[in-house]
Amino acid sequence: MKLLIVLLVGIVLYFVVSIIYKRFWHKGLNISVEFEKEAVRVGDDNNLIEKISNDKVLPISILQIRFAVSKTFKFAEVKKNSAVTDQMYRSDYFSVLPYQKVTRSYPFKCTTRGCYQLATIDVFGMDFFISKARRMTLKTPRLLYVLPKPIKDINVPESIENVINVIREEGEDRKCVVLLNTELNSMSKADELIEDGIRIADYFVARCYKDNVPVMFFTNGIDMLTGEECRLDIVSDTDDRISLEKTIARIDAGKQPRPFKHILGEAEKLDDGSTDFIVISNNRKTDFVKILGEFMDKGHATKLIIPEFKNVDITPYEDDKEKIVKWVVAND
């Protein structure tokens, strides 16, 4: 009889606890997953931080947090319960007591330029008897911007330094327009050459900002977030500079750009006689050579920067040293 009573009490207790957990397990439970730094450079370290606050008397025996992060994030220790495909799926487990706050930090290295988002976070909570998992999904707008790896000053061609000095010394009325063409001359090592062009663009806008030269940025590269072409108007203060850096980070090197002639056409409208154009393009096919030649022939002050590997020639621009510069920046 006593055994039967104990069994009945146990069954009642089990169902009561199950009902309580079903209704209240997520109440007062605050969970966030975020990056310690919002913007870093390629090669920099960052931390992924998980914060849990259980603001109620009900404990959670096992709390699982599951989400996907980019496989380009190199964590200090890859967990056995993490699966790697196009993304790395993390599953982290906690035991949370009443009114307890838990914070964990996971260091990782940012290896690839881009804009990354923790889109959704799946949370699973086990009841007191560890018999059933209950789930909720959280949305997070958190973004991480990984900016291009900076170009070392020692690797900047002297002719480029002269261009910057001339723009700076021409007077306060001068402005610089940086135009980045993400079309390629060939598909050989395409990713490297696109990234080199993006790094050069990043270098120019940063130098212009440092030297108090108004700078604008146009590209036919596609924005990872909006699907539109990336661009930014005059950079004049710190907020503008940060916006520009984020814009450059968001260029999707894998998306097919529209022809560069449209970018030149839009940029031409900006020339009021006090504009210096910096065109960055690995592409030097017939169509590009023609439209850029027409652009220069109209009198626009233009410098063409060609990101290319050391042993590759820059035909048909080999002989034009005044307006054309080959810039080797790979593997610096």
**Euclidean distance between CA atoms 106 and 50, whole angstroms:** 8
Task: Assess whether 155 and 112 both reside in one domain.
Answer: no
Predicted confidence band at 36 (pLDDT cuts at 50, 70, 90)? very high
Q: What is the CATH number of the domain that holds 118?
A: 2.60.40.10
Predicted confidence band at 283 (pLDDT cuts at 50, 70, 90)? very high
Q: What per-residue string of b and e applies to 11-25 under the rule 16 or more CB within 10 Å gives b?
A: eeeeeeebeebeeeb
The last residue of a domain, from among 100, 115, 146: 146
Cα Rg of the chain, angstroms = 27
182 in a structural domain: yes
- Tell me the average pLDDT across 264-283: 89
Give 112-131 pLDDT, tens digit per residue: 999 998 878 999 887 665 66
For residue 315, the cross-strand partners are none
Task: Assess whether 106 and 168 both reside in one domain.
Answer: no
Q: What per-residue string of b and e applies to 278-295 under the rule 16 or more CB within 10 Å gives b?
A: bbbbbbbeeebeebbeeb
Instruction: Look at 235 and 201; give whichever has higher pLDDT.
Output: 201
Expressed as residue numbers, the domain containing 264 is 148-327
Q: How far is CA 12 from CA 8, 16, 59, 61, in A?
A: 6, 6, 19, 20
Task: Assess whether 118 and 138 both reside in one domain.
Answer: yes
Give 43-93 pLDDT, tens digit per residue: 999 999 999 999 988 888 888 999 989 999 999 876 554 544 567 888 899
Given a cut of 60, is residue 323 above it in pLDDT? yes
CA-closest candidate to residue 309, choices 188, 147, 183, 128: 188
Given a cut of 80, is residue 330 above it in pLDDT? no
Task: Assess whether 231 and 270 both reside in one domain.
Answer: yes
Task: Assess whether 59 and 201 both reside in one domain.
Answer: no
Lowest-confidence segment of 79-83, 155-159, 170-174 by average pLDDT = 79-83
Cβ atoms of 102 and 51 within 8 Å: the answer is yes
pLDDT at 86: 60
Given a cut of 60, is residue 156 above it in pLDDT? yes
DSSP letter at 105 equals: E
Sheet holding 39-41, edge to edge: 39-41, 143-147, 114-117
Cβ atoms of 132 and 108 within 8 Å: the answer is no
Task: Assess whether 177 and 81 both reside in one domain.
Answer: no
Predicted confidence band at 19 (pLDDT cuts at 50, 70, 90)? low
pLDDT at 318: 76
The last residue of a domain, from among 104, 129, 146: 146
**Euclidean distance between CA atoms 293 and 296, whole angstroms:** 5
